[in-house]
Structure 1
Amino acid sequence: MLSKGLRCGLTLLCALLGTPVLAAPTVLKVVAQEGTEPKYIPAGIGRVVGLCVDLYRAIERIEPNVVFSGDQQWTPALQALSQLASHEHDALCAVQRTEERTRQYVFLEPALFQMRYQLIARAGDPVTVNNWDDVRNLGPKGIILANRGYTAPGMLERIGGLQVDASASTPAANLQKLIAGRGRFFLHRAPGMQGFIDRAGATTRVRILPTVMATTDVYMALGTHVDPAVRQRVQRALEQLDKNGELARLLRKWE
């Protein structure tokens, strides 16, 4: 590794000779959020794939001076959110915008994709749900499992009149609670829902109810400490990916 003095000397020499000095790329630290398929999906020992991994690489191709580092390192989803707020890393992919989060992060336009919320029930449960009133009418027999610390519990509270259990903090835990009969439904998000069920070995034990109960957009979020010039480069890349259809193609790939 070159010493600071030698680097300065080389920079001065390049300037005197008229040779352009290539700036080092800006590294944005990220993490792979556990339990957020298809954003991040385990693919064997030490390997993570998914929509967000592909999106980081697509941005890097458009903006070679921006590099995302850390997407092969697993971190609990709630911890990843708090670490971005405390500037322990720099960016998160596909984050829902809430009033609290707008004070903690900078959200970039355009939206990456729209997230759909659907109910999962046990395979042998003949229940039919067309709207939230159908769930309300079940009373204590209509308990909805939701992930603690995610946005779903707050959304269900705002809808009102529902029986909600948000004591589990991961989708995997809630899926097992559902199978064990400790709730009538599990409210989870698509895209990626069927793949999550399949990888959990629960394909024949649960079923996804077809009604879309709610939708929300998700965005790229950067820490408030990130240089505004870097934010602009990432935003321009996202705009280009949206216009050329690459964002839609990535979503279809991981649907």
Structure 2
Amino acid sequence: MRLMSLLGALLLLIGYSSLALAAKLQLYTEEYRPLSYFDDGKLTGMAVEVVEQLIQRTGASASIQVVPWTRGYHQVQREANTGLFSIVRTARRESLFQWVGPIALGHTSFYARRGAGLNVRSLKDVERFSTVAVPKQWYSYEYLSDKGLKNLYAVPTPQHMTKMFKHGRIELLVASSLALDDMLAEQGMSARDVELQFTLMGTNSYIAFSKNTDPALVQRWQQALDQLTRDGGLLRIHRRWFSDPNSMPVLAPAP
């Protein structure tokens, strides 16, 4: 009986190894601090660390390429054995991908200049402003567009939006709690320069795989992430990158 159990475990291990070797994964990400960016020519970031851990734990053959967000988003909808990170899981995107995550928990909020005297507590209040600039590829742009916000203005990158905010061309900044500090720092600002108006939505970051990637491979990645959460590895990564790490759900030990 023990021999049969050992043989079963060996066959399962061989199956996982074959799965990892069979699929050559192409993973896409954008340059977006602190999740993924180049530092002295080396790709780094919170999400990059998580993905590298999952590559190691699954034994996958994978490469990471930094591309504009729109390109990566469309490539993963067209090509097999591709993935995109970090991406917020929304109702509109749900059926487009296979999901692994979450790799981080966050929320998206409206911010104003500290001392500006604004009192924005709802989308009804947001409608009073002449322009609300948001990167067109962002989930928050999708959300605000779906809500029928008439003063929504599409910009190509988060840097464009933050620069407009710095120079007073817009009064409100839309930002994720995961990236706010880095977005402001790129423009010589800090969190002390802004004040929270109201939180728009909770936003969890995921890895999205193409629909025509082997579901068993995607499941293996989810299992590896669950284990990374259980053994504290994910929290250790968060602590390296976030001054106030968002708590992740604690998973029960594997049976």
TM range (shorter): 0.7 to 0.9
Q: Tell me which of 136, 139, 143 is aligned to 1:148.
A: 136
* Partner SS state of residue 71, structure 2: helix
Partner of 2:28: 31
Could you tell me which residue of structure 1 aligns to residue 60 of structure 2?
A: 66
Match for 1:43 among 36, 39, 44?
A: 39
Deviation at residue 173 of structure 1 after TM alignment: 0.6
SS state of the match for residue 31, structure 1?
strand
Q: How does 1:85-104 map to 2 (within 5 A)?
A: 85-87=77-79, 90-104=82-96
Aligned partner of 2:5 in structure 1 is: none
Q: 1:171 to 1:57 in 2, by over 3 A?
A: same
Q: Which runs of 5+ in 1 are unaligned?
A: 1-19
8 A Cα contact 2:109 2:175, kept in partner: yes
Shift of 1:196: 2.3
Q: Counterpart of 1:146 in 2: which secondary structure?
A: strand
CA distance in 2, matches of 1:86, 1:170: 23
In structure 2, what is the equivalent of residue 186 of structure 1?
Answer: 173
Counterpart residue number, 1:52: 47
Number of equivalences: 225
Runs of 4+ in 1 over 4 A off after TM superposition: none
Q: Secondary structure at the match of 2:199?
A: coil
* Deviation per residue, 1:110-136 (Å, 9 max, x gap): 422222112233456232434444434
Would you say the 8 A contact 2:105–2:203 is kept in 1? yes
AA partner of residue 117 (structure 2): P
Q: Does 1:118 align with 2:109?
A: yes
Alignment of 1:1-255 (within 5 A): 25=21, 26-34=23-31, 36-44=32-40, 46-63=41-58, 65-70=59-64, 73-87=65-79, 90-108=82-100, 110-122=101-113, 125-136=116-127, 139-140=128-129, 143-159=131-147, 162=149, 164-203=151-190, 206-209=193-196, 211-255=198-242
Q: Secondary structure of 1:239's match?
A: helix
**Structure 1 contact 122–205 (Cα < 8 Å) conserved:** no
When normalised by structure 2's length, the TM-score is 0.76
CA RMSD, aligned part only?
2.8
Change in Cα spacing, 1:113 to 1:198, as seen in structure 2 (3 Å) is same
Aligned to 2:245: none
